[in-house]
Amino acid sequence: MRLRICDGERERIAPPSIEMVEQAFAAGASLPRGTEITLTDGERWLTALSIGAPDEGADGGAEKFLLLAGTGESATLVGPVGRSEVLRRFREHVQASGPSLMGGRICS
């Protein structure tokens, strides 16, 4: 499994954990419109794409996301959804991937 964060200027790929997901979607985290955060696990994937909000501030930070999930060749799209709902779904995705990711480290 891997966690990918791409904000249009740079891309980070990291081993996923509950802590990494919480850090990515923290209330103070800057997520400009167009930022893509993806968890992949074999054929399963979950992506949040920041789309902003009608009342977004001058800094362009996003509070709404499109949420895409897929397994193999099928995919679903949900949105717009808020940051807390996206965080909840990303936590569930990490938890469903097994106990080796729960503590913030990957066990072999």
Residue 100's pLDDT is: 43
How many domains, the chain? 1
> What per-residue confidence (pLDDT) applies to 47?
95
Q: What is the DSSP letter of 42?
A: T
Domain, as residue range, for 42:
2-101
Q: Does 107 fall in a domain? A: no
Report pLDDT digits (tens) over 46-100: 999 999 765 555 455 557 899 999 987 888 888 889 888 999 999 999 988 765 4
CB 50 within 8 A of CB 35: yes
- Looking at the chain, how many residues does it have? 108
State the Cα–Cα distance between residues 54 and 2, nearest whole angstrom: 32
Q: What is the C-alpha to C-alpha distance for residues 70 and 40, in angstroms, rounded to an integer?
A: 10
The β-bridge relationship of strands 74-82 and 2-6 is unpaired
What is the pLDDT at residue 88?
Answer: 93
The reported pLDDT for the residue numbered 43 is 85
- pTM for the structure as a whole: 0.78
Beta bridge partners of 2: 40
